[in-house]
Copies of this chain bind each other. A is one copy, B any other.
Amino acid sequence: MKKRLFTPGPTPIPESVMLAMAEPIIHHRNPEFVEVLKSVNENLRYLFQTKNPVLTLTSSGTGAMEASVANLLSPGDKAIFVNLGKFGERWGEIMKAYGVEPVEIKVEWGTAPSTQIVLDTLKRNPGVKAVFLTQSETSTGVFTNIKEIAAAVHKEYDIAVVVDGITSVGCHEMRFDEWGLDVVVTGSQKGLMIPPGLAFVAVSDRAKKMIETSKLPKFYFSLKKALKSYANDDTPFTPAITLAIGLEKALRMIREETVEHIWFHHKVLSEAVRNGSKAIGLKLFGSPASHAVTAVNVPEGVEYSKFNKLLKQKYGITTAGGQEHLKGKIFRVSHLGYYDEVDIVGVVAALEWTLHDLDFKFEPGSGVTAVQKTFAEYTKETADAPRLEAVK
């Protein structure tokens, strides 16, 4: 059976990228590999819209989150984080593990923090060194307006704004330099369309200064070491070579399509999934909606585990369930990375067939019709735009 992943990481990998990674391995100190890293570094800067370094680590995205905490702060420092879901919460867990004093902004899971709540928290907590945000909270499918928050914070405070962009980079608009962000992290198995194993950290001048004075222990995740190697398109430790080779190809595809079109493409696909779900009679979970993943309430009378099993057994489709207290209550359909309109019509059709099998009442065809209508509104724009193509 054809396997179809609709999970927010790993996401599907273009066939040409998979095959590039299957070629005979080269040594990471060979000139050929230096060329690979040079191209990767240049195109990561393009993707992050920055002239600053975007450092590559061999780890999952969590490693890059930990690197941000361990390299910017010192023992006893205070930092704000927003607990808006499992991944926002993780910032606080990392801080605690490192003896940083976390100031928690807790918002109901399924909502996003307002700019005002961040400013109020800063006012009540003098001496905070950094604010840690999550642009797309993967566990709830919720989008945070980091552009507005970063601007408001930097208007009044000379502190770092650190962003988990793990499911938003290569999906949502993010302009590192123009928006004045200090650190943005992401992972390889998301908008970058390659397997998991690499993580990325963009650092501003302010972040670089903090890295110079940070007193928390680190070695493998030392960004000082990473910055030094980066200057020569190198890495301090053996990188995941085959993944970097796949990444080089994937980033060239992204650059060819243009990042602006990729942002637009994810907006359209996510809107189609939301409209399709609503037309079937499903209720969306959380807002404002992330363009990476759509969280949908499991409808009354439907058992999540049966729904999930049917989707997988009959159509080869894997979606993601809810995490923590949302387990069994929501399911999440990802449209992050290497997807197109045909994939989206397909997954909404499979939702219809599966819900029909489970005796959920709705008008057959209503979901895919809503998807079609959404795409029709954008036809001219999408038809004119270049699409993800295998790069020679």
A interface residues, Cβ below 8 angstroms from B: 3, 5, 7, 9-10, 12-13, 18-19, 21-28, 30, 58-63, 66, 70, 93-94, 97-99, 187, 189, 195-197, 216-222, 237-243, 318
Contacts and interface: CB of A to CB of B under 8 A. Distances in A.
Given A22-B19, A59-B58, A93-B219, A195 B241 contact: yes
A34 to B, nearest CB: 13
In order of increasing CB-CB distance, the 3 nearest A-B pairs are A197-B240, A22-B22, A195-B242
B195 A240 contact: yes
Contacts of A197: 58, 197, 239-243
Given A19-B22, A97-B218, A218-B97, A196 B27 contact: no
Q: Main secondary structure on chain A at its contact with chain B?
A: loop
Contacts of A3: 24, 26
30 contacts: A5-B26, A10-B27, A10-B238, A10-B241, A12-B25, A18-B23, A19-B22, A21-B21, A21-B22, A25-B189, A28-B196, A30-B318, A58-B59, A59-B63, A59-B220, A60-B220, A62-B237, A70-B217, A97-B218, A97-B219, A98-B217, A187-B238, A189-B238, A195-B241, A196-B238, A197-B241, A197-B242, A197-B243, A217-B217, A240-B240
A62 to B, nearest CB: 5
A128 to B, nearest CB: 20
Nearest to A190: B238
Contacts of A242: 21, 195, 197, 242-243
Given A30-B318, A219-B93, A60 B239 contact: yes
B219 A216 contact: no
A24 B216 CA distance: 40
Contacts of A12: 24-25
Contacts of A221: 220
Contacts of A218: 97
Nearest to A188: B240
A94 B219 contact: yes
B195 A25 contact: yes
